[in-house]
Amino acid sequence: MQILSNTSTNSRLEEFFVTMLQEIYWSEQHLVNVLSTMTGAATNDELIQAFDQHRQQTEEHVKIVERAFGVLGIPPQAEPSMGLQGLFDEGWQVIDETEEGSAQRDVALIIAAQKVEHYEIACYGSLVTLAATLGEIEVADMLRAVLTEEKETDATLTIIAESKINAQASEEPVDH
């Protein structure tokens, strides 16, 4: 195993990889709670189901990242992600600024969720590439499976938005 080696060849890259893994671990742990809140704030049944399903997947993502740490021979450690914290905060803000029970809130929730998904897709894509570069093929494969699920969730949210929620929200009065 190369991770955290004392060689100068990949040591900085290894450190960067481990830090990114710690940040995605923190993010997945916190996303479980964020998705629970978003599920409770959503109105559309399909959206509620999508958020709940992704919360369950996210619980599994936490375990997968923990297993990745194990394969690397290092203890799981969470490191706060400033980027995702900002996106989580934005999610809380859209709940506060939209009318309960409105399609407009559902649209805002989808947008907030997709911003998180896109950030996660970028992080997991980079982690997969770095793991492969560092010769950690098993870890790359584990993280690639999570990346695939993140992309599927993003696509599902787009379908839900485009199927009717966006149109419903456009017909709601501003003051709903």
Rounded (10°) CA dihedral 156, 162, 167, 170: 80
pLDDT, tens digit, for every residue of 138-166? 999 999 999 999 999 999 999 999 998 99
Query: Percentage of the chain with pLDDT > 90?
Result: 86
The rounded Cα 34 to chain-centroid distance in angstroms is 10
pLDDT, tens digit, for every residue of 61-104? 999 999 999 999 999 999 999 999 999 998 889 899 999 999 99
Question: Under the phi-then-psi rule, with left for phi > 0, alpha for psi from -120 to 50, and beta for the rest, what region is 137?
Answer: alpha
Question: Under the phi-then-psi rule, with left for phi > 0, alpha for psi from -120 to 50, and beta for the rest, what region is 79?
Answer: beta
pLDDT (0 to 100) of residue 8? 45
